[in-house]
Structure 1
């Protein structure tokens, strides 16, 4: 036993001597190219001489090694094997952890994310199940490219299942339609506890849908209104009311402007945004008869191909009002209406021509206007339409086609003086037929069918309905589904109410956070671009840094009590949409009058794209709706869909000329396009994309990057997120984005490939995605480097 202890002590001493002898070996290896003597001189000062092993000690150490028991040697080998095994197990785990950490995500979070069980999330789950997951169907989800009309066209060399294509076509809606659908759900919901204003809006909508009551009422409501206005020549019962008196009533009570348009707005030439002053604006009207601009003659004329169907539709209207088409009064009235419309059309001009001639925003006082266009009682008519507070002759107005106004006054004077027996009979009929056109939405189906048939005829002859730069009020009304028409009409009168209901979706702050994060990521993206010069970079950076976002307007955030007070004078009938519609027209004109002297701003809730006014980025509330957004959605879904759309709009608004400012746009656009052609087996020689398409490809590619970066920033602040359909974090982000497809907006015709392919372009950098995307059907593997 004593020998074993002594042997162990000797062994321990030998190991100590061995460690001491190995101390200088590191430096000796590094200096192996030096002279041995010089190396020894450099090493010796580092250790005291007393620590250097003697030759006798080294001999004893070697002897101890030779006499070391075998079980000690085995134990050393065993520990070496255990250490190697641990390294083999732990090292890959560390690499895996670091890999996922660098991705910006949290692997444990992706596994343990709790499901979202709200009703909105349940509907979203069904929505997601209707299309392919890009990570489980990498060969299917991007194989359709965007066509010039926004529809999907099959990419060359691939065939998607018909059922999946049908589902996609039913699912793909533009943002405006999604908004109208959502407003429809609000108006059709049953909420007995809603405020008075909300109840009135819903009642108005329901009476609009009640076409049976409209058909039962027939033409009688309009005939009663004509009688109230003094009758007319067609019926043989006319009190020969004064021309200007009738015109004033139509402008005040029925928002109808037969001979000219009158509205209130800011001076279009004042772009500073510092003044809030508004002016009465006088513009050319929306004539009912289709006309066209003849640039060679610099004048407008009635489109001859539409003259006969237009006469037929006018005769049909009169027949519905009790005047047979073959009666003398009907023929005279229709002939006079067409003749007067043709005379007025000659003096009209498109916006581009008027702008080139300097005919826009010409300032005149009402007194000056009266002297050059005396047939109209301008002070009386404008006072009737904009009655609070009273106007004076010194009030300035803006004219946007002064030559037309002068010619219109001359035409009206000739028609009054040229008909001795009935001085203003044709003018009166002209005004009443314009009133009929205004009230078409509130009349029975026979009137709307007449308008629709005329629209069809115009389409057959290749002529768009309307005049030059504007469209008649009924365009789009007769062709759209009834529910959509009723939503639009309800929004005209109850926009403040609907804005309040939309605001409920953004009350929690999720919308503000999304906008702020998208704008922040947009600004950081500017630094990654290669700019042509430093001056351009500084200009763009100043522009981007100065932008401040704002969701909606101040007026849109009215309380329920304020809305109830605003609509307190509105009495909605439960069985007469015609009377409700007359109240709507009166309400609209009162609002126009209020605009002249108050800072009241109408709620533009039908807008679905941001706009820039000065440094303020106005983000409409109408974009924060399902299926694009919901406060209970996982943030991955909100950022993947609406975050991308918002980033895309932001790039369009703030960087309209980016192609000429940065070489990155061309390089990235062409790179993505090359990858697309490679993946879709369409690598034949073809010219590069046009400039506009390269910019759009870069823009949407960058928008997706911005949205992803914004979502990752959100995760860093709040690591927890919920799940839908078992997906979470990055994967749900991309799956949600793949639902966007050919989003119908102003620029969809510039996108040569379906946006969902951008998932493949982003996932070329595999660390950004849950898995790499490879389609076995493609002839080439997708490039592993990103654009």
Structure 2
């Protein structure tokens, strides 16, 4: 029954053993037990270490917040707009663009910032070389800013010009000179075109030789016939008040001024009735006519076309067989008949019509009373259209704009040296190369393109030239000095202004006449509009566009690809717009192509109805395709970039992942007032330029978690590009 003492003292887990084996077996079991505990501890440590390693990798290889000054400035810019109370899946435009005072206008803000930089450069007067382009530009700018001198000059310089043109009846001093002589002087010496506009351009069809184009006048007093007769009458009254002010400022008899101003409005209204709407021109498939000067002389005999055009486009040598491009022949015929009739009975009124129009054209170079009258007219017309008040432009901005118009090569060099150094240019070219590669990949995957057409398209891309920043000639100060040699500054600002007008016109003609091996830019380097030139097969991205908040080498890549990358892709797609036109892609699968185009048109029609903004899809189809394709290609290029290169960043404290930041940056570029869109323009309204491409991009819905069936996550998508 009982147990021995040794048995009672053994631990409960011990087993019976022989005297020899007992101690060693117990130690072995204890050792095994210790090893198990050690292994468990090591496993726990390994798991903990792995977790910490993954946290480290996530924190250091995943998106990092960019907290550099340029990124913090961008963050402040983004946070200054956007209505976060709206659902991004139903109104991403408001989600990004809306502000407390309306809607952000991104391109306008960047344009003003670039002009502000030019202002600072002009105000920081350096030591320019005597007679250099910089010196002349600075002298003109200083003369423009010297408002005390302009006020002291008063109307004297302007009255001298009017007397040289024969005077006018309202002041009691009028000489009945030859009508075409006065018209010739207005066009060639003062840049004023009262009955039509004439300018040089490249012919719209190959081989794109220089040609004079004749257009309708721009109706400088902003005459616009509205649908509502009451509103139209109010506009006419405001314009009549403005013309009366001009006549009184020039010392005219109030009663005669009233009579002549009323005739001015009546005559302009009759001219306006002759205009042929753009829709009618498109319906008749005649957007322009090619005629000779001799032909036009027969159609519109009131104008001495050869002498007027010869004087305007010196040093061109014109003849009756010179080819012209005309957009609206019916307008010119009717205009000529009306002028002939009025010259028989109201020659003095025709003279007043031309003089009042000239005064309006020259108002930026006149004293404050004229500028104030013009500004108040614009403000009242703006209010009649129920638009927000126009902010008053400071004097420096007007002077920067005029200096830029007349001395563009000089200001271009100043601007580019300041903001477009080698590192920015290199980053922009790298981005363009990646977008171009994405376009090539996209073209190869098109379901409707033929092999032959694809080959031609790829060949076009290979031959394409790209220009970044500024034109090459902007860097040559000696060239600029030669271009300004005929400009005579002083003694009054008006005389300086007119000397610059004449010099600029001569330069434009010479640029078209002289053969050149490089592309002549159609915009300024501080501008913000990229474009594709069909004749020169070159795509241009000015330095003014490649600036914050659109682009910077230090930004997260999502920002650069979403903003400027989508613009670059859109411009590249312009090369292939011809393929989308009827008969433009004969070897392609036209059935598939037309289905895609119809899908696109229906897609935007549905969006416009949901946004209560009727849309003419036929006018905007090509640009809609460019918007959708540009976004898709930029997103494809961005996705490839971050898959191949780690280290992407995002903006701090914004709670947006890089893909969401990409789409936000795209929308930020499109921000502008909804009512700023031209109803006859080729672009959709700003909100549709945001919602159209995003709703056709499944990745947007994926990254913003949009439920199926919401506005920006429809059940079907269009596959064009």
TM-score, scaled to structure 1: 0.65
* 1:466-518 deviation per Cα after TM superposition (whole angstroms, max 9, x unaligned): xxxxxxxxxx9996454444443333223333333444444412211122223
Give the equivalent residue in structure 2 for 1:500. Answer: 413
* 1:322-346 deviation per Cα after TM superposition (whole angstroms, max 9, x unaligned): 01312xx435533543454344344
- Change in Cα spacing, 1:736 to 1:128, as seen in structure 2 (3 Å) is farther
Do structure 1's residue 221 and structure 2's residue 157 form an aligned pair?
yes
Give the equivalent residue in structure 2 for 1:397. Answer: 324
2:291 counterpart (352, 364, 381)? 364
Deviates more, 1:314-323 or 1:187-196: 187-196
Give the equivalent residue in structure 1 for 2:341. Answer: 414
What is the CA distance between 1:219 and its match in structure 2?
2.0
Contact 2:170 2:257 in 1 (8 A): yes
- Change in Cα spacing, 1:451 to 1:240, as seen in structure 2 (3 Å) is same
Contact 1:244 1:376 in 2 (8 A): yes
Whole-angstrom distance in 2 between the partners of 1:288 and 1:82: 87
Number of residue-to-residue matches in the alignment: 628
Give the equivalent residue in structure 2 for 1:661. Answer: 596
SS in 2 for 1:608: coil
Give the equivalent residue in structure 1 for 2:377. Answer: 454
- Change in Cα spacing, 1:555 to 1:411, as seen in structure 2 (3 Å) is farther
What is the CA distance between 1:455 and its match in structure 2?
3.5
2:497 counterpart (575, 581, 601)? 581
- Change in Cα spacing, 1:700 to 1:590, as seen in structure 2 (3 Å) is closer
2:214 counterpart (278, 282, 286)? 282
Which ranges of structure 1 fall in alignment gaps of 5 or more residues?
1-64, 117-121, 154-164, 465-475, 674-684, 766-772, 776-782
- Change in Cα spacing, 1:67 to 1:740, as seen in structure 2 (3 Å) is same
* 1:175-202 deviation per Cα after TM superposition (whole angstroms, max 9, x unaligned): 1331232222222221404673244434
- Change in Cα spacing, 1:130 to 1:402, as seen in structure 2 (3 Å) is closer
5 Å-filtered alignment, 1:73-92, equals 73=32, 77=36, 80-81=39-40, 84-85=43-44, 87-89=46-48, 91-92=50-51
Contact 2:650 2:657 in 1 (8 A): no
What is the CA distance between 1:715 and its match in structure 2?
4.3
5 Å-filtered alignment, 1:308-387, equals 308-326=237-255, 329-357=256-284, 360-387=287-314
Whole-angstrom distance in 2 between the partners of 1:663 and 1:368: 42
* 1:603-647 deviation per Cα after TM superposition (whole angstroms, max 9, x unaligned): 41234244463864433433112332345x346476266345536
What is the CA distance between 1:743 and its match in structure 2?
3.4
What is the CA distance between 1:292 and its match in structure 2?
6.3
TM-score, scaled to structure 2: 0.70
Do structure 1's residue 125 and structure 2's residue 77 form an aligned pair?
no
* 1:120-147 deviation per Cα after TM superposition (whole angstroms, max 9, x unaligned): xx4653452466599xx99889779759
Whole-angstrom distance in 2 between the partners of 1:128 and 1:571: 48
Contact 2:195 2:217 in 1 (8 A): yes
Give the equivalent residue in structure 1 for 2:585. Answer: none
5 Å-filtered alignment, 1:418-429, equals 418=345, 424-429=347-352
* 1:523-567 deviation per Cα after TM superposition (whole angstroms, max 9, x unaligned): 55678x8x7x46489978975784346235745644233223322
Give the equivalent residue in structure 1 for 2:560. Answer: 639
Do structure 1's residue 618 and structure 2's residue 540 form an aligned pair?
yes
1:430 counterpart (340, 346, 353)? 353
- Change in Cα spacing, 1:651 to 1:663, as seen in structure 2 (3 Å) is farther
* 1:385-409 deviation per Cα after TM superposition (whole angstroms, max 9, x unaligned): 1112322222222222223323333
Give the equivalent residue in structure 2 for 1:488. Answer: 401
Whole-angstrom distance in 2 between the partners of 1:456 and 1:429: 25
- Change in Cα spacing, 1:477 to 1:588, as seen in structure 2 (3 Å) is farther
- Change in Cα spacing, 1:367 to 1:141, as seen in structure 2 (3 Å) is closer
Whole-angstrom distance in 2 between the partners of 1:280 and 1:561: 30
Contact 1:611 1:619 in 2 (8 A): no
Whole-angstrom distance in 2 between the partners of 1:638 and 1:561: 39
Contact 1:628 1:638 in 2 (8 A): yes
* 1:396-447 deviation per Cα after TM superposition (whole angstroms, max 9, x unaligned): 222222233233333333333446xxxx433322221121121011122322
What is the CA distance between 1:110 and its match in structure 2?
5.2
- Change in Cα spacing, 1:506 to 1:542, as seen in structure 2 (3 Å) is farther
Which ranges of structure 2 fall in alignment gaps of 5 or more residues?
1-23, 581-592, 673-682, 707-712
- Change in Cα spacing, 1:696 to 1:152, as seen in structure 2 (3 Å) is farther
1:604 counterpart (508, 523, 527)? 523
Contact 1:176 1:608 in 2 (8 A): no
Whole-angstrom distance in 2 between the partners of 1:711 and 1:394: 57
SS in 2 for 1:363: strand
Do structure 1's residue 518 and structure 2's residue 435 form an aligned pair?
yes
* 1:10-66 deviation per Cα after TM superposition (whole angstroms, max 9, x unaligned): xxxxxxxxxxxxxxxxxxxxxxxxxxxxxxxxxxxxxxxxxxxxxxxxxxxxxxx98
Contact 1:556 1:603 in 2 (8 A): no
Give the equivalent residue in structure 1 for 2:583. Answer: none
Give the equivalent residue in structure 1 for 2:482. Answer: 565
What is the CA distance between 1:247 and its match in structure 2?
1.5
Deviates more, 1:508-517 or 1:82-91: 82-91
Give the equivalent residue in structure 2 for 1:750. Answer: 688
Do structure 1's residue 266 and structure 2's residue 196 form an aligned pair?
no
- Change in Cα spacing, 1:525 to 1:662, as seen in structure 2 (3 Å) is farther
Whole-angstrom distance in 2 between the partners of 1:429 and 1:663: 53
SS in 2 for 1:661: helix
Whole-angstrom distance in 1 between the partners of 2:596 and 2:532: 22
Whole-angstrom distance in 1 between the partners of 2:262 and 2:598: 62
- Change in Cα spacing, 1:639 to 1:293, as seen in structure 2 (3 Å) is closer
Give the equivalent residue in structure 1 for 2:117. Answer: 185
What is the CA distance between 1:702 and its match in structure 2?
4.1
Give the equivalent residue in structure 2 for 1:18. Answer: none
- Change in Cα spacing, 1:629 to 1:353, as seen in structure 2 (3 Å) is same
Do structure 1's residue 254 and structure 2's residue 190 form an aligned pair?
yes
Contact 2:438 2:633 in 1 (8 A): no
Contact 2:192 2:361 in 1 (8 A): yes
SS in 2 for 1:622: coil
Deviates more, 1:77-86 or 1:407-416: 77-86
Whole-angstrom distance in 1 between the partners of 2:372 and 2:95: 29
SS in 2 for 1:514: helix
What is the CA distance between 1:583 and its match in structure 2?
2.3
What is the CA distance between 1:378 and its match in structure 2?
1.8
Contact 2:96 2:668 in 1 (8 A): no
What is the CA distance between 1:280 and its match in structure 2?
1.1
5 Å-filtered alignment, 1:15-94, equals 73=32, 77=36, 80-81=39-40, 84-85=43-44, 87-89=46-48, 91-92=50-51
Contact 1:315 1:330 in 2 (8 A): yes
Give the equivalent residue in structure 1 for 2:588. Answer: none
- Change in Cα spacing, 1:78 to 1:177, as seen in structure 2 (3 Å) is closer
* 1:195-216 deviation per Cα after TM superposition (whole angstroms, max 9, x unaligned): 7324443443444444444334
Do structure 1's residue 712 and structure 2's residue 639 form an aligned pair?
no
* 1:147-170 deviation per Cα after TM superposition (whole angstroms, max 9, x unaligned): 9899955xxxxxxxxxxx65xx69
Contact 2:523 2:529 in 1 (8 A): no
* 1:203-261 deviation per Cα after TM superposition (whole angstroms, max 9, x unaligned): 43444444444334332221122123333333333343322222212111111111221
